[in-house]
Amino acid sequence: MVELSWHGRVAVLGLNRPEARNALNLELLAALEGRLGEVVDAHCVVLQGVGGVFCAGADLRERQRMTSEQRTQHTRLIASLCDRIESLAVPSVAWVEGYCLAGGLELALACDVRFASESAVFGFPEVKLGIFPGADGPLRLTRLIGPGRAARLLYSGARLSCAEAVAIGLAEQGDALKWADQVAGHSQVAVRALKAGLRASCGLPFGQAQAVVRQYREPLDGSADYEAALARWC
């Protein structure tokens, strides 16, 4: 259900239910949970879909057979996975082809960066079903692109093309694997400290954020990686 391949120090996770547009059923969620436990030694993680589609969201056919309590639990499982992706010690990147909708977009938003192909389609259509995104996607979206743009997308349930997503800062254009390989080649001490500092300071007033980031940055002045780099460059 979830493929794991390695490109050097980059772990590539592929959602593999192409016949269902990689919709998130319980089996796929469990498989992704297990695979995330196998990438702790990666220097960067790429999340993608198999079959030219990233993820069309929760499996609505499966949800139709659930009680309301089971649907709530299903959403919480997606939220838990989003939290795990966001809390990875190393950078994560979503490579988006085709549909990236609903719970699929929530997974992509949990990544540090999103690269989109020309075929990519982004959206939160949940309001059309009488609900709204339940795995904290609205919060991550607002943090990423601002409240006005987020509200416009969330309230309308509209879909965005690759170009539209890039224009508002939701996604980037480029080669996700090439970017991940570049990141994986840098000092892991520095990359992990940078990510931890950014996460810890997110949402804080600037002065408080400064103090938090310095706690992660200043110890690097005495790191072996920095000493070796200075010896090479000077």
Active site residue 118: no
Q: Which residues of 68-98 are buried (b: 16+ CB within 10 A; e: fewer)?
A: eeebeebbebbbebbeebeebebbbbbbbbb
The alpha carbon torsion through 33, 179, 150, 164 (nearest 10 deg) reads -130
Active site residue 106: yes
Catalytic residue among 33, 38, 106, 227: 106
Catalytic residue among 19, 97, 126, 218: 126
As annotated, the active-site residues are 106, 126
